Structure 1
């Protein structure tokens, strides 16, 4: 009996050690994906100069190509893990992400970089759901799962902050190319470790015929065309034949996606899930919230570089309060959620974000970081920290256990696509306003006139972004009811709570 117990204890210890090795490997991948999302922001001005991006609208594709392919294929990535195995999905995504990082680091022109960023986004769409699924499957006990997700939260938050700082250091003291090349050793360690340690678990058997590839391709293609049309609207003309043709093609592809989802036996998204009010409202809030918020990762970077002459490392340090304030507010949100309820937290957080964006409407040409940038940065970050947790909670409330993964994937997709569409539309409006002012100034506009026009474009963009976030607050205030969050008898909250929790941490 004693021998048996010891052997069992040894076996349990080995299994426990392997679980934490698996966690470490998945967190390495998560750190890389999170790092890449913010490390690029600081390097944008240097990338624009070296690769000859014509203007800020072209430059935003460095961000949007990644976001579009990440958001567009995120649900397909989750489905692929169910069918082919989580380890295979993890390895495929990590290999794509690492290979694309090499291509980006060696990019010789803007087109090569944008295509590489799209491939990176597709790789991230495979890695991200695999990481969360592997953690959830590996840690079955509630206490250990909470601990594992706590590590996941810390890595995600630290990756965002580290990206700002490392981006500045690498760009300043080496080259912006190293913000991509640094992914290669990290990716290789993750790939080799995953081959040795992570089992290829599956949620169900299946084959390629159960993959909704037409759905994934049509929705991603449609959104890409819409973003392309919006980005080029001020150049083509909002009423031009080219704008109308590209927009109509995008709408047609999205309509095709809806038809595919309604008719296929294995849809990427079961559209009936949106019949539940919390899911539809939660996703509408996330789409509009991130649509307004994401300008904070673009306009301030250009302002600090072009108007305040900040170096990349200075931009990185200037952005550090953003993830730190968001982390602090996220902790407050988790403590207040039970008492205040998700609707109140959502509305309060969204109003903080809108107020923060409005502080930039009076941004001067020759501003001060402490007086003109930091206050708005802290307000928007604090508001965002209050919003993310209740937004994910709302969008996954009352979901059946078998569809918790779908609900989590849908809200993550809304987050990514809201960011892409919002940045495209608001940047286009800002650039259009700047171009209009420069046209009025004549062909020989002075450097001072150009700086003034650029800042006025930023001001217009921030004003529009604040309106979008206020709309998000109205959706939350009038679309949700207290009864939506009353637990029904018999609800266990077990599996249903597990995957949404993972999604919440991912958003941080």
Structure 2
């Protein structure tokens, strides 16, 4: 096979899409393993959410820096570096012997994902010319990424039940090795960008560090109290770092977050809706995975299978949302999605330890899954459809970062309030099962509040009615 055939666009797409598949897979595959990780490494209840949040925060916090680094150093080089970091940290996570080691490994995993994901997207947009071929490639890219989220819950269950929780991390290693070997063969080198060569590393560190400090302060509020010096200190430090981040972004010549984009009503409201949507999703997923196994006694595999209707509803919702956006505009579709989220979460909040899955859990999961996509698809389109082509990539990166960071912050709040309710119920004489159920219900009600706020944010958004051609272009950038 000659070099030209090996480096065909479709061979390149295969390598890139598989890499994005494992990045998304790692968001969901870990959830079904959480109870086993907790018992295996001795995580506290409030500390367990860091297994998810460390990955999401570092991924979202450094996503924009990753895209900038890829432009300046070369997309293929940064893609391979991100893959290597992802693989090594996956192995470290699988071999971890303490909570601190696992959280550190998950943080490095998130950073690796933040390098490889925008680099892969950059390679894809250069490899496929603008038009039909690029739209097909973006469809494959987005489809495999979505499949990674759905497949993760089942694959995680299989690995936990047949091997151990460690394999939800180790499974990445052979895939990463194969991709690192395949990339120089199937992906052509891409020359670095020759323009402004500043990185804005300070902005990335301040933004991510500030968010980590805020999340840590929220998590520590449950065991030590909101008025403790530790909590106040971390929250204050986080606020100061985030204020410094905004000051740096306003003055640097190549900001990670172009603040002028946030002044656009369509992008700012879309980013807010996606942040709240991510918060509701991660919170529901985290709480329900624990509830199903620790309260209802389900195996990890059964838990994964029970999440499948939600994944199917999300895929169907995404398929239906695009033509509805063309006919009705972005705001009505987002509004319907937010209402569906509220309804789904309220249904789930009524489930107890002994209720029927088909009549209890499944309806709530299906309604919530459809609502997720009905918000995400029009919000992603609205965020980029009215910005210039030169800034479309930056706009897409901003809203993706909003979604990831919003999810981590939302999960921290829900986890803290849920744990507080469980602890209080058990201290008052409730059984372990009843206490966990009370915490589960409170957490879902807080997630429902996120969905209610999404309705308010959506109401403030402009009613955009993009053409099919604009939707195709916006979807390609957002993917």
Q: TM-score, normalised by structure 1?
A: 0.90
Aligned partners of 1:53 and 1:181: how far apart in 2? Answer: 20
Shift of 1:289: 2.1
Q: Which has the larger displacement, 113-122 or 162-171?
A: 162-171
Contact kept in structure 1, 2:284 and 2:447, CA below 8 Å: no
How far apart are the structure 1 equivalents of 2:377 and 2:170?
A: 33
Question: Do structure 1's residue 474 and structure 2's residue 456 form an aligned pair?
Answer: yes
Cα distance in 2, alignment partners of residues 371 and 108 from structure 1: 40
| Aligned residue in 1 for 2:35 | 45
Q: Determine the structure 2 residue equivalent to 1:188.
A: 177
For the aligned residue pairs, the C-alpha RMSD in angstroms reads 2.0
**Who wins on radius of gyration, i.e. which is larger?**
1
Structure 1: distance between partners of 2:189 and 2:199: 18
Aligned mates of 1:64, 1:503 — CA distance in 2 = 26
The match for 1:151 is 140
Deviation at 1:43, TM superposition (A): 0.9
Q: Mapping of 1:81-480 within 5 angstroms?
A: 81-202=70-191, 204-205=193-194, 210-441=198-429, 449-477=431-459, 479-480=460-461
Which stretch shows the higher mean deviation, 197-206 or 402-411?
197-206
Contact 1:345/1:386 (CA < 8 Å) preserved in 2?
yes
1:177-228 CA distance string (max 9 Å, x none)? 1111111111011111112232232462258x60010000011000001000
- Judged with a 3 Å threshold, the aligned counterparts in structure 2 of structure 1 residues 39 and 201 are, in CA distance, closer, same or farther, namely same
Q: Is the 8 A contact 1:392 1:503 kept in 2?
A: no
5+ long unaligned stretches in structure 2: none
Secondary structure of the residue aligned to 2:404 is helix
Partner of 1:22: 12
Find runs of 4+ consecutive structure 1 residues off by over 6 angstroms. Answer: none
Greater displacement, 121-130 / 432-441: 432-441
Unpaired segments of 5 or more residues in structure 1? 1-10
User: Quick check: 2:269–2:458 contact (8 Å CA) kept in 1?
Assistant: yes
**2-structure distance, mates of 1:150, 1:280:** 25
Query: The residue matched to 2:189 in structure 1 has which SS?
Result: coil
TM-score if structure 2 supplies the norm length?
A: 0.96
Deviation at 1:367, TM superposition (A): 2.7
- 2:326/2:466 contact within 8 Å kept: no
